[in-house]
Amino acid sequence: AQDAGEYTCDSGDQQTTASLHVKVLPVLFNKELKNVEAEEGGTAVLHCEISRPDAPVEWRKGGVVIEPSDKYQVKLKGSVAELIIHGVEPDDC
């Protein structure tokens, strides 16, 4: 999207100008989340794969945004987004 704008070719005596419009494609899920089971006190890892590497993602539980903390670790490695939940407890279901 940052490449959008007017471009000009200048030959010294003449110029020609054109506009470039960039259609931003939506981020799609190449691999969706799968159900996970974990033992109480253990660690659970949820991951999915998105179509655009390093696109911003947001994790939520029941509509509430999950912020990184000692309990929740959020990673984005290329096109793989991970949520790591430490010290899993029944309320995390």
Instruction: Decide: residue 72, CB within 10 A, 0-12 exposed, 13-18 middle, 19+ buried.
Output: middle
| In a domain? residue 12 | no
| In a domain? residue 70 | yes
If the chain, 93 residues long, is cut into consecutive pieces of 10 residues, what is the mean pLDDT of each piece? Answer: 94 95 93 96 96 92 95 95 96 90
| In a domain? residue 78 | yes
Per-residue model confidence (pLDDT) at position 44: 97
Token code pair at residue 50? 């998105």
| In a domain? residue 19 | no
Domain tally, the chain: 1
Per-residue model confidence (pLDDT) at position 72: 97
| In a domain? residue 10 | no
Per-residue model confidence (pLDDT) at position 66: 96
Per-residue model confidence (pLDDT) at position 24: 87
| In a domain? residue 13 | no
Domain harbouring 61, CATH code: 2.60.40.10
Expressed as residue numbers, the domain containing 81 is 29-88
Buried b (16+ CB within 10 A) or exposed e, 5-44: eeeeeeeeeeeeeeeeeeeeeeeeeeeeeeeeeeeeeeee
| In a domain? residue 68 | yes
Confidence (pTM)? 0.75
Edge-to-edge strands of the sheet including 44-50? 29-31, 44-50, 80-85, 72-77
